[in-house]
Amino acid sequence: MWTFDAHLDLSMNAVEWNRDLTQTIEAVRTSEKPLTDKRDRGHGTVTLPEMRRGHVFGCVATLIARVEHNAYSPVAGWRSPEQAWAITQAQRAWYRCMEEKQEMQLIASRSHLESFAVNLQANREGRGPSTFPIAFVLSLEGADSIVELDYVDRLHEMGVRAIGPAHYGPGRYAFGTDSDGSLGASGRELLKKMDELGMILDVTHLCDQCYWEALDVYSGPIWASHQNCRSLVPHNRQFSDQQIQALVNRGGVLGVALDAWMLTPNWVRRVSTPEKHQVTLANVVDHIDRICQIAGNDLHCGIGSDLDGAYGFEQTPMDVNTIADVSGIYPILKQRGFTEESLQRIAHQNFLNFLTSALP
């Protein structure tokens, strides 16, 4: 079994957290022992070797740099769109370096995807290199860094194939988590531009009003890269059953996230712990199962772990120490009656089928 993870902030960790992701997880943690600048120092869960150890051979990898609109947000931002754009370009440069070292392989077209599949099969049969490049689809999380609309063309030219218009709080193009409002003219123009380019709309983080407006406006492919269920964990960050059903009706796929506060109700930031709430991978499976029940099948659910998304193992399920432990989801699914074919679909095939249709 191998996993396609639909949401990893790899370049943010490399560029802003100053983590060498080509090293072992032990080496990265050791290097951060003296540091106290971020809450998750020494608690990282993702490196490229650790992904390979856990058979996470493909992912959606982000560019992320939000603009700070007020002081309330727990997520840091930049003072201007131009600064945010510069950060995304530094992040893109890191991915290029990983490509040059054959640590990673960009997937920007169907032919890229087909080549990856062939190479992966050869590797699994022992006919490929021992250090297999991690395949990645580029996504922009939050659109604040798009200085002007023609910057979307630049993103597309550099291989970005998905955009999530919002992140936390009010954004320049949409309202995100813990905020509310309409897309407005700028948001609608962004979606129109993405539609023209055939890009994937990531509805993760959109507030409810923007979510429904986006589904009305956008005619192209839609997914939710890292999104859990509001019926299990009541919070505006999660999707209601109606939102999940609407996404399913559009042929979308949802990647279930492993951030502990999204897996259990009544989480209090900086107070709650996975141990206090007894959060395990069984909670992740609860959300997967809920999505499958709403959809009536297992064709619209996958993994979008969001591991190391500004948190570390202090905020993951108790049985997740690194990304290699994500594979622990599959035995639990099997215990609950999911077939081997279902496990394959949830692990990677649903997102691969989506990409086969959505990529140019």
Q: What is the CA radius of gyration of the chain?
A: 19
Q: What is the pLDDT of residues 237-263, one digit of tens each?
A: 999 999 999 999 999 999 999 999 999
In the chain, the amino acid numbered 360 is P
| Percent of all residues in the chain with a pLDDT value above 90, rounded to a whole number | 92
**Angstrom distance (rounded) from CA 258 to CA 323:** 10
Question: Who has greater pLDDT, 125 or 9?
Answer: 9
Domain range summary for the chain, segments of one domain joined by +: 4-358
Q: What is the pLDDT of residues 77-136, one digit of tens each?
A: 899 999 999 999 999 999 999 999 999 999 999 999 999 998 888 887 777 666 789 999
Is residue 310 predicted with pLDDT exceeding 60? yes
| CA gap 206, 355 in Å, rounded | 22
Q: Cβ atoms within 10 A of the Cβ of 216, count?
A: 11
* Residue 73 DSSP one-character state: -
The one-letter amino acid code at 216 reads D
* Residue in the block written with tokens 């440069």: 93
pLDDT tens-digit map of 169-219 = 999 999 999 999 999 999 999 999 999 999 999 999 999 999 999 999 999
Tokens at residue 67, please?
């603009």
Superfamily holding 4-358: Metal-dependent hydrolases (3.20.20.140)
The rounded distance, in Å, linking the Cα atoms of 103 and 223 is 26
pTM as predicted:
0.97
Q: 135, 50, 75, 92: which is closest to 307 by C-alpha?
A: 50
